[in-house]
């Protein structure tokens, strides 16, 4: 057996429960619960029927379409294989082994994952149940030092749910002018807060967006990294030239054009989110304000049993007890799906 690098031996393995999910109501991965727009499926079929499978993908005209959608220059945008590639690219471009990344905890697992692969040191700033999982701004600002090379923030944060405001994002950017600051906007469609308007003011700001969540394209793997043209120049230098396949790009172009589909889905989720919150209050379940398409709630010592009872009833939710003792996270879909979930949850309780 060949010996891997030390950082691979030492890192925690990440193995999400992605087996046999197809038949259930999937409320465990914060995906779109009804699927992508029919125009996306049509674009996939069309792309496959063209004689393009034999060709390496070209991104030129698609990059122009995406950059005008985000209202940035095309030189400010990298098309990535999901947010995950954007995270990895930032680490590959800006961090050496031993450098320091600051993240909040709990947050998206892939920040630590790619940092550990690269031998980057991770400093965690904890959310606290004592403050209802409010964003730990003061602790974050205190943790920033001259040796902080990067700060990755999910906004809204997964799994806690809350989003920070533009003035709060400014405070972080200004506290760490020499650090790469990633604002991961994977769930921004569900709260409308974006830091894109700050790009011209802060040379350390990077924003990632994804087609995996609201747009219902998690299986196609397409995302974006946005920053100044000079920063993106370096990132693209470090990027594999064909990391996003052309079917995903064609699908993403179709998806952003179908504005009505996304608006309608987001409205449904926002309504259903209020419903879930109201029902949890009725049931006396402690839960946290969410700006995303998911809600974190507390069930105490019964977490594992409730997850398996719900699975038996055909509803998948995620146990987050490893990062917040006794908590479960449910993805919010349509109100009908959430009625079903609340019904089964009430039974399981
Ligand atoms: C905060 C956050 N960012 C990014 C992702 C994944 O995005 P992608 O599918 O674009 O890699 C997730 C998925 O759960 C997430 O929670």
Q: How far apart are CA 65 and CA 49, in angstroms?
A: 22
Express each pLDDT in 8-51 by its tens digit: 999 888 877 777 777 678 999 999 999 999 999 999 999 998 77
Chain-centroid distance, C-alpha 285: 25
- What is the count of structural domains for the chain? 2
Residue 330 has pLDDT above 80, yes or no: yes
**Alpha-carbon gap, residue 174 to 142, rounded angstroms:** 13
> Which residue segment(s) compose the domain that 275 sits in?
19-36+260-348
88 lines ligand 1 (CB under 6 A): no
Place of tokens 């003061």: 138
| Joined tokens for residue 194 | 């974006």
Rounded CA-CA distance 342/336 in Å is 10
4 domain-assigned: no
pLDDT, residue 16, reads: 78
State the closest ligand 1 atom to the C-alpha of 80, by its place in the atom list counted from 1. 10
Q: Is residue 7 one of the residues assigned to a domain? A: no
Task: For ligand 1, say whether the CB of 208 is within 6 Å of any of its atoms.
Answer: no
**34 close to 333: Cβ distance less than 8 angstroms:** yes
Provide the 3-class DSSP secondary structure of residue 237. Answer: helix
**Token pair of 41 as six digits:** 């499926």
Pair 31, 60 in one domain: no
Last residue of a domain, one of 240, 257, 274: 257
Q: How far apart are CA 24 and CA 139, in angstroms?
A: 40
Same domain, 249 and 344: no
CA of 3 to the centre of ligand 1 (A): 31
Domain boundary among the residues 257, 276, 308 is at 257
Mean pLDDT of 77-89: 98
Query: Cα separation of 188 and 184, whole Å?
Result: 9
pLDDT of 181 = 98
Computed on alpha carbons and rounded to an integer, the radius of gyration of the chain in Å comes to 20
Give yes or no: residues 109 and 242 share one domain. yes
Q: Residue 149 maps to which CATH number?
A: 3.40.640.10
Mutate which of 31, 83, 163, 215 for ligand 1? The one with the most ligand atoms within 8 Å of its CB, which is 83
Mind listing the pLDDT tens digit for each residue in 214-235? 999 999 999 999 999 999 999 9
Tens-place pLDDT, residues 135-173: 999 999 999 999 999 999 999 999 999 999 999 999 999
Q: Are both 134 and 47 inside the same structural domain?
A: yes
Cβ pair 265, 334 in contact under 8 A: no
104 lines ligand 1 (CB under 6 A): no
Instruction: Write down the pLDDT at residue 60.
Output: 83
- What is the model's pLDDT at position 33? 96
* Atom 7 in ligand 1: residue holding the nearest Cα: 83
The response to whether residue 268 sits with its C-beta less than 6 Å from ligand 1 reads no
* Substitution site in 207, 212, 291 for ligand 1 pocket (most atoms within 8 Å of beta carbon): 212
Same domain, 236 and 303: no
Residue 3 lies in a domain: no
Q: Is residue 203 part of a domain?
A: yes
Asked if residue 142 belongs to a domain, the reply is yes
End of a domain among 199, 225, 257?
A: 257
268 close to 35: Cβ distance less than 8 angstroms? no
Is residue 11 assigned to a domain? no
If asked whether residues 206 and 308 sit together in one domain, one would say: no
% of the chain with per-residue pLDDT over 90: 93
Q: Does residue 308 surpass a pLDDT of 80?
A: yes
Q: Evaluate if residue 174 carries a pLDDT over 80.
A: yes
Nearest atom within ligand 1 for CA of residue 154 = 1
Q: What is the 3-state secondary structure (H, E, C) of 44-91?
A: HHHHHHCCCCCCCCCCHHHHHHHHHHHCCCHHHEEEECHHHHHHHHHH
Backbone angles phi, psi at 42, to 5 degrees: -65, -40
What CATH number does the domain containing 333 carry? 3.90.1150.10
Contact 146, 114 (CB under 8 A): no
Q: How confident is the model at residue 255 (pLDDT cuts 50, 70, 90)?
A: very high
| Token output for 136 | 């730990």
The reply to whether 70 and 125 lie within a common domain is yes
Report how far residue 264's alpha carbon sits from residue 32's, in angstroms, rounded to the nearest whole number.
12
In a domain, 167, yes or no: yes
Q: Are residues 285 and 148 in the same domain?
A: no
Atom in ligand 1 nearest the alpha carbon of residue 218: 9
Residue 218 beta carbon below 6 angstroms from any ligand 1 atom: yes
pLDDT of the residue at 50: 79
150 and 73 within one domain: yes
DSSP letter string, 100-113: EEEEEES--HHHHH
- 44 falls within a domain: yes
Q: Are residues 97 and 202 in the same domain?
A: yes
Q: Answer whether the bond into residue 330 is a cis peptide, omega within 30°.
A: no
End-to-end, the C-alpha distance of the chain in Å comes to 48
**Cβ 331 under 6 angstroms from ligand 1:** no
Does the beta carbon of 154 lie inside 6 Å of ligand 1? yes
Residue 108 in contact with residue 98, Cβ under 8 Å?
no
| Strand order, beta sheet including 294-298 | 294-298, 327-331, 318-319
Residue of 152, 206, 213 to test ligand 1 pocket, by largest number of atoms within 8 Å of CB: 213
Cα angle 292, 294, 295; round to 5? 110
- Does 307 lie in the same domain as 187? no
Q: State whether 141 and 196 are in the same domain.
A: yes
């Amino acid at each position: 057996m060949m010996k891997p690098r030390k950082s691979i031996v030492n890192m925690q393995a990440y193995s999400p429960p992605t087996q046999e999910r197809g038949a259930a109501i999937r409320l465990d991965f914060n995906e779109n619960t009804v699927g992508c727009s029919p125009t996306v499926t049509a674009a996939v079929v069309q792309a496959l029927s063209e004689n393009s499978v034999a060709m390496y993908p070209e991104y030129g005209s698609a990059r122009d379409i995406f950059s005008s959608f985000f209202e940035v220059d095309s030189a400010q945008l990298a098309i990535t294989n999901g947010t995950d590639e954007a995270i990895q690219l930032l680490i590959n471009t800006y961090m050496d082994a031993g450098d320091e990344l600051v993240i909040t905890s709990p947050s998206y697992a892939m920040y630590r994952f790619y940092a550990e692969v690269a031998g980057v040191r991770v400093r965690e700033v904890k959310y606290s149940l004592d403050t209802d999982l409010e964003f730990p701004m003061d602790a974050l600002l205190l943790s920033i030092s001259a040796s902080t090379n990067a700060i990755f923030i999910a906004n809204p944060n997964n799994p806690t749910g809350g989003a920070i405001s533009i003035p709060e994002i400014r405070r972080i950017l200004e506290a760490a002018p020499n650090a790469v600051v990633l604002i991961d906007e994977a769930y921004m469609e569900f709260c409308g807060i974006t830091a894109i308007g700050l790009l011209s003011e802060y040379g350390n700001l990077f924003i990632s967006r994804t087609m995996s969540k609201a747009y219902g394209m998690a299986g196609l793997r397409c995302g974006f990294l946005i920053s100044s043209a000079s920063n993106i120049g370096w990132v693209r230098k470090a990027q594999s030239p064909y990391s996003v396949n052309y079917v995903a790009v064609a699908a993403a172009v179709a998806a952003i054009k179908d504005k009505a589909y996304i608006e309608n889905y987001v409205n449904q989720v926002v309504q259903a989110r209020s419903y879930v919150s109201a029902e949890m209050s009725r049931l006396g379940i402690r839960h946290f304000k969410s700006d995303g398409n998911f809600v974190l709630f507390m069930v105490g010592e019964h977490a594992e049993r409730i997850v398996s009872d719900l699975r038996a009833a055909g509803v998948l939710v995620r146990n987050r007890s490893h990062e917040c003792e006794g908590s479960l996270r449910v993805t919010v879909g349509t109100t009908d799906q959430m009625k079903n979930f609340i019904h089964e949850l009430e039974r399981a309780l």
